[in-house]
Structure 1
């Protein structure tokens, strides 16, 4: 496959376009989409794996938690401060779909958006909200799946117009002289943007309802019809609220949903206003103005908060409160460990955080949960043994009562070849996780990516988080 190192070099085939958009324009989405669907398709994986995927990306984590706390997705207004708790309260399916949508917009909004790009983004969000709200009215088993299917059904158009390719200008020239969009796309590209979307879908292995909506134009499947009708509805709304096209859509949706035409029209109007809010929550501020000309909720784009401005103490307190709430009820050990690891990773601003289990023979530890370790995935778990000549930092920390602050300059012999190979030679904290004073595993954390110094306050806070594991494990044993 030919690599296009310059965006001014126009790909020559459908396959080259897919490669360019995947590798050069939307690599984050390509990677995240594959990981998310892999986690959900594998019966051996679950909430822990999904949380780990999300937490690898700080921007994605922040955006997901912001949306999870919005009235639209969290009408009960339960404060959610951790990805782990978001999954517990909202469910894996909804979090998966929201994560996919967030990662999608995180990728495309980094491009130089122009009018066509924003119009396509607006149409995608508007269609998704309309589809979801109608799905809820129809008692659909998973309205979130309908939302994402409608959102990504025209992914080819959105990705293309956000690519800032010279081909976009050529297509626009043809559109201005009256050539219809399909003919213009074929003349310039040799294929339609709908075909491009289908290939991207295959490459990202999205499957399910998204693929069905893309490929099954003539079908009796109600959910596919709903997705496609929602897209058609948004196109009709652009023509006019009294247009024949809109009335035809309303009539079709009324027949599909068993709602009256008046009820459908009322729901469509309300959903349009919701779509503006959702667009802004996803960060698509420029696109939101194309959803509704009548009522635009003006929201200023939030300024990026620097690391020094961020209130880590407040985040630490919030996560500790969520951990306390969890251990006061039915304790799930995996969720408890996820929350604690998230508290250490995000709350103490660590680059890499790891929970490892000690084997029965007490001769090795193996990775169970990892954050910030992109090389660790699936079966590629790292394992450390204590069979080298001399002890290493992990086993030294495992036997320490109150944790161990390892420093390469002060403890050179503990940085064995095995440690240096898999972790590097970084200052770090290692805390034992114990049951009845016996270690069963450990929590490791460092700032080995950005090389910020560790402090005594950091050590104390991490120690406090680790003690929450001890408390939870003790309570679990008492109750069981």
Structure 2
């Protein structure tokens, strides 16, 4: 295999290869996002041309993440009304792009690169509400495609590309010099040419230029990209401290709020990957429990749970979405109540499966990818079967009464377990789970666990009524 070096040779190689990025849907949606006159009907036509894409879009639109009221959405036009044009456009592009790259048996390097791009898009989108000016609705797409040259290069299967990326990951700040050494061309220059050839949008072009006086939207794209590059080094790393401050400055929020937002979106990326049906990315997405490295305060206030409960109420009054309130709720139980591990498992009534959706605590990050519980395979007498029969809050203490925990063995707990139902019109939609890993849980923790479950029940009821 001949060595490829320089811009022209790489552009020729990429042009001769049928790359997933050239998929018609991806190209059309990028053009759609640049066209100020585009209508919802244009997006509907693109989606309806592909039966599999239509099915996936409707499934995502009906997920609890985007549809906490569980009002049935059966048409793409209704999905656009419910989710909003920008949201559905982003969903369509992300699922199409990722699925096309993942066809066959993708290499670990490609999965890692896709996960990084996906995480960057989620981080950048979180900054959008704080931005002024036009094109801010295009931030998610631009961040998702920010490293399009890397994805395209990996798809060639060239060993020199793998060598370059491995070297770059060891020293991201030396990317320019390493690209010239291994590839004979700067990856930013290659990206700009691909963006122009594939008409992927002006905002993406601006972000790749990375000028000092870039627009707020372009800065959000690049900050999302930097977060996804450096977050694995931990929030205390020099790089992340700088990025957190830049995020705070761009969003005009406190440094502490910027750190909280980044950590919340790191977990949100795994939640959305699960909803989009690309669980294969989760193992390469950041684990908040590992990257946070919290500074232990000398004395933890005894009213921490109340503080966090107050944050939940403020979020509800501000009209924040269900995913954010759910994440705040789990954080309150983990941090404020001191419960080791907490999760929300959503009931898929069609497939009769329990799907892990939201998690917090050490070792829970990969639950979304690894744990699925078949409700039809539960046997009489096991803990989960008894809970589903009564649908009442449950506190299992193995030190008092030994029971068969059955399917819940997947969670790996040998200590106390809490369960509580999340109901809508008396129908079980999800359940809250908590455990002490190998230890015990207290009566106070059980009351606080039930309080949070009741809050989520009220939230679902309110969403349904409104």
TM-score range, shorter chain: 0.5 to 0.7
SS at match of 2:368: coil
- Of 80, 86, 89, 2:79 maps to 86
Q: Which position in structure 2 is the counterpart of 1:296?
A: 365
Check 1:182–1:114 CA distance in 2 against 1; reply closer, same or farther (3 A cut): farther
1:154 Cα deviation after fit:
1.0
Check 1:13–1:236 CA distance in 2 against 1; reply closer, same or farther (3 A cut): closer
Alignment of 1:199 onto 2:193: yes
Q: Which position in structure 2 is the counterpart of 1:208?
A: 202
CA–CA distance in structure 2, aligned partners of residues 83 and 176 of structure 1: 40
Q: Which position in structure 2 is the counterpart of 1:65?
A: 58
- Listed as ranges, the matches of 1:2-401 within 5 Å are 14-18=7-11, 20-21=13-14, 24-27=17-20, 29-39=22-32, 46-110=39-103, 112-138=105-131, 144-171=137-164, 180-293=174-287, 294=289, 295-300=364-369
After superposition, what is the alpha-carbon deviation per residue over 1:439-461, rounded to whole angstroms, capped at 9, x for unaligned? xxxxxxxxxxxxxxxxxxxxxxx
CA–CA distance in structure 2, aligned partners of residues 259 and 130 of structure 1: 15
SS at match of 1:256: helix
CA–CA distance in structure 1, aligned partners of residues 276 and 232 of structure 2: 22
Check 1:164–1:91 CA distance in 2 against 1; reply closer, same or farther (3 A cut): same
After superposition, what is the alpha-carbon deviation per residue over 1:393-447, rounded to whole angstroms, capped at 9, x for unaligned? xxxxxxxxxxxxxxxxxxxxxxxxxxxxxxxxxxxxxxxxxxxxxxxxxxxxxxx
**Larger Rg: 1 or 2?**
1
**1:94–1:144 contact (8 Å) kept in structure 2:** no
Check 1:84–1:28 CA distance in 2 against 1; reply closer, same or farther (3 A cut): farther
CA–CA distance in structure 2, aligned partners of residues 111 and 219 of structure 1: 42
The gaps in structure 2 that reach 5 residues or longer are 290-363, 373-466
Check 1:100–1:301 CA distance in 2 against 1; reply closer, same or farther (3 A cut): farther
CA–CA distance in structure 1, aligned partners of residues 194 and 134 of structure 2: 27
The gaps in structure 1 that reach 5 residues or longer are 1-7, 304-480
SS at match of 2:367: coil
Check 1:103–1:290 CA distance in 2 against 1; reply closer, same or farther (3 A cut): same
**1:146–1:223 contact (8 Å) kept in structure 2:** yes
CA–CA distance in structure 2, aligned partners of residues 126 and 119 of structure 1: 10
- Aligned alpha-carbon RMSD (Å): 3.3
CA–CA distance in structure 1, aligned partners of residues 35 and 128 of structure 2: 27
Check 1:266–1:113 CA distance in 2 against 1; reply closer, same or farther (3 A cut): same
Check 1:140–1:38 CA distance in 2 against 1; reply closer, same or farther (3 A cut): closer
CA–CA distance in structure 2, aligned partners of residues 80 and 269 of structure 1: 31
After superposition, what is the alpha-carbon deviation per residue over 1:147-175, rounded to whole angstroms, capped at 9, x for unaligned? 11111111111232244223324436766
SS at match of 1:299: helix
**2:34–2:201 contact (8 Å) kept in structure 1:** no
Check 1:242–1:66 CA distance in 2 against 1; reply closer, same or farther (3 A cut): same
1:281 Cα deviation after fit:
3.0
Check 1:71–1:140 CA distance in 2 against 1; reply closer, same or farther (3 A cut): farther
After superposition, what is the alpha-carbon deviation per residue over 1:240-270, rounded to whole angstroms, capped at 9, x for unaligned? 2211211111111112212111111111111
CA–CA distance in structure 2, aligned partners of residues 252 and 177 of structure 1: 23
Check 1:17–1:102 CA distance in 2 against 1; reply closer, same or farther (3 A cut): farther
